[in-house]
Amino acid sequence: MRYIAFTLIIVALLSCNTKFKYVTDEKVKTFGASVAYDLDSSYQLYTRQVVTVKNSDSIRVPMNGSLSENNKLLEIEYLFVSERDKKVLVINNVANRWEKYYNSPDKISDLGISAPMIKADIWYFAQFRFGEMDQQGDLLFRNVSRDGRDHYWNISKFSDSIKLNSISVADSYGKNLRYIDSAFSLNVVFVKSEAWQVIFKQNAAKRMFPLTKKNTIPEFELAGQTIYYHPNSGSPVVVFRFTENIFKHFRNVSFNEKRLYAEPKR
């Protein structure tokens, strides 16, 4: 009993500032039937970085861009696209509220879009948009925030990037169109990644166990590069499974409905 209590305390501490929960296989079974979302070889990853730069008034403002000595990384957005299956998935990383955590040298190398291998780390995931590609090549996200409205992303695709031109929201009165260039300082562009992998890395280990060196922190690959969506009787859950335990007796992590900005088509 004392061991169980200690384990629960550690799990709670390790989950601080994260958006997921560690769950056992038995717990996953209670979520009920699932829909597998396979990020197979048909998917191409496009990545967008949001940084802060100083404007003419020396005030930091967020915009699309690259890292340098003069700006700070705020957030990374992953856009997975399968033209074969006409499916898309957008994942946002946790926003860097204090402009500290992501900007240490090891975090930049882990998350930066210029790396030869992009490793999308589940540890940082915060929000999911499951969607589809329509006949015109635009991106459709259904029932966004569960309010009954669909969002349409009008995009332009290039050999090395995808540009988001506008977002429109469909309701009973039609579409309310919002052009991106009027809402953001710079174009919203997702850069094509030549190689990528979805992984989980226990980044809290250094904070929990100060003697742990960076190169001893394990890195786990997502089993089959597959994400599982559980409708779960109206309280949907997104589950990431692994072939081995990632912490203690846990080998899964789950995100609750608050992290689902748009659910996949069933």
3 state SS for 4-31: HHHHHHHHHHHCCCCCCEEECHHHHHCC
Instruction: Render 166-214 in DSSP notation, one character per residue.
Output: EEEEEETTEEEEEEGGGTSSS-EEEEE-SSEEEEEE-TTHHHH-TT--G
How high is the mean pLDDT of the chain? 77
pLDDT tens by residue, 79-118:
999 999 999 999 998 766 555 555 565 555 555 666 678 8
**pLDDT of res. 43:** 96
**pLDDT of res. 207:** 45
150-157 vs 139-141, strand pairing mode:
antiparallel
Q: Where are the domains of the chain?
A: 2-262
Q: What residues contact residue 20 under an 8 Å CB cut-off, 6+ apart?
A: 122, 125, 240, 253, 254, 255
pLDDT tens by residue, 41-89:
999 999 988 777 665 554 444 445 555 555 677 788 999 999 999 999 9
